[in-house]
Structure 1
């Protein structure tokens, strides 16, 4: 693994686990098993590092979404694969990460907004239209409105004033909101198929 890639991977793991503000360049150098001097050969400051980590992370997520699109047999299967992707990424994030990015790292925040509005919303909108064509989602659902609602709900759960961490379990809240969102889309045919998928997933996890 090249030094720069090692730095980006180490920094990403630290930011996900602890948030951005509490992680220092010393912490990143230590996690990457290199001196701070070597670290600064690749990144002039923490802001530049955060921006590059964000860009790298969002590119990887976009690639995962493309792969899911190829694998999914129908719109509901696609949602389940995306929810598994969310568990791997969003659900393990420190709740302060987005707040830190917005307040202290403007360039990284702009990358997040671009990713949210162009990639994620576009992907959800496309998925909803697919589900409508397959008879799994209700025809009257407005794909654009619901795609906006979905991405804002994901971000809402990061707000600790609304969902204090001492009162709410972050992954459980995300799963509750996701489940509510999916059931709001489904036709009777879709509901039956969704529950079949969930039963299969439950069986797989209990083996």
Structure 2
């Protein structure tokens, strides 16, 4: 197996563990055991756990960005884009450990910086563009400020991971994110936009989630 293939295999395996168990609880031993490789192999490709966490985070965010770009390219309009994004969001949040974001923020500054950069640049630009497009199409209320609404949207995504507000034993991350997403959409749509969003949601509900 080529060196790049080994590196990708390690990152994929580490990402699986981080998403399921969070980052703090996973050691280099756990990663090696999960992949059935030696710790020596891990250190041949990565300096330490911080390096793996950062690279896995970066790879995950790049994958998400490509997924979102495909949605944007195939969407018929701003509402269709949001309806498709809601399907992606639900799928991506399935079985995701809520402590993941907190672990990055507290223990892995380089990986956290990757997330903050991705959130404040790529996601923010995507939300602002979608809102402006929706206003032009008559689906979103013309009086909303896209920059303000985008900031609210970004912070609410992050808020859903806060286990002090949404304790894991009481709330499921996926359901919290979907509730917040619908609240965001219904807060910006016109009556015309609301009807179309509900129509798209109904269609997506009866189709497999592989809509891209």
Tell me if both proteins adopt one fold, taking TM over 0.5 as the criterion: yes
2:9 maps to 1:6: yes
TM-score, length-scaled by structure 2: 0.93
- 3-state DSSP of counterpart to 2:124: helix
Instruction: Give ranges in structure 1 of 5+ residues lacking alignment.
Output: none
**Could you tell me how far apart the structure 1 residues matched to 2:115 and 2:94 are?**
16
Structure 1 runs of 4+ aligned residues shifted over 4 Å read: none
2:207 is aligned, of 183, 186, 204, to 204
Q: Which has the higher contact order (CA 8 A, sep 6+)?
A: 2
Moved more, 86-95 or 178-187: 86-95
Q: Does structure 1 retain, via aligned residues, the 8 Å contact 2:20–2:97?
A: yes
Partner of 1:60: 63
Offset of 1:91 from its aligned partner? Answer: 4.3
Partner of 2:181: 178
2:134 is aligned, of 131, 136, 140, to 131
Q: Does structure 2 retain, via aligned residues, the 8 Å contact 1:76–1:190?
A: yes
**Could you tell me how far apart the structure 2 residues matched to 1:163 and 1:134 are?**
36
- 3-state DSSP of counterpart to 1:137: coil
Instruction: Give ranges in structure 2 of 5+ residues lacking alignment.
Output: none
**Could you tell me how far apart the structure 2 residues matched to 1:47 and 1:99 are?**
15
Q: Does structure 2 retain, via aligned residues, the 8 Å contact 1:91–1:174?
A: no
Partner of 1:32: 35
Aligned residues: 205
TM-score, length-scaled by structure 1: 0.95
Moved more, 129-138 or 79-88: 79-88
Partner of 2:50: 47
2:166 maps to 1:163: yes
**Could you tell me how far apart the structure 2 residues matched to 1:133 and 1:25 are?**
51
2:69 maps to 1:76: no
**Could you tell me how far apart the structure 2 residues matched to 1:125 and 1:33 are?**
44
